[in-house]
Amino acid sequence: MKNKNRFFWSYIALVLLFGLGMWQSVSTDGSFGVGLMAGAIGAFVALSFKQARMRRLEAQGMNVYDERVWFVAGRAAYAAYVTFALGCALVVLLGSIWGPQVLVNPYNLLGVALSILVLLYVVYYHYYNARS
């Protein structure tokens, strides 16, 4: 997929996410819709900065996606996956032994789990990028 197509579909997904957030904030009084809209705006700004930086680097004649980028991304993804899986297994094991019975909303738990996974990926990516 070319970069233009990738950014186009990313912008479409962000518009849909913003629309879903707007619908959620209009139909309910919760802050979930506002969070979706804020996340979509933040992702739009980050994607715009990334696209501008890539255009600038391509104008200078640099190869934006070389082998090193994919190598670092692969190592960061694997390290984040293993760390997250081992951490979850440890929490589940300790919680099942000593933890009290608590009702947990699985949707909130899934959101927290995904945010932790994304944060771990970003941290490991920058770690391996600085190290390589």
101-111 pLDDT, tens digit each: 666 655 566 66
* Structural domain spans, the chain: 1-65, 66-132
Give the distance from CA 89 to its chain's centroid. 22
Handedness of CA 68, 70, 73, 78 (dihedral sign): negative
Among 87, 84, 79, CA closest to 132: 79
Tens digits of per-residue pLDDT, 5-26?
877 888 899 899 899 888 888 8
Whole-number percent of the chain with pLDDT over 90: 5
The number of residues making up the chain comes to 132
Q: Are residues 32 and 17 in contact, defined by beta-carbon separation less than 8 angstroms?
A: no
Residue 28 has φ and ψ, to the nearest 5°, of: -125, 165
Cα separation, 126 vs 6, in Å, equals 23
Tens digits of per-residue pLDDT, 46-92?
889 888 888 888 888 877 777 777 888 888 888 988 888 888 777 77
Cα separation, 55 vs 21, in Å, equals 30
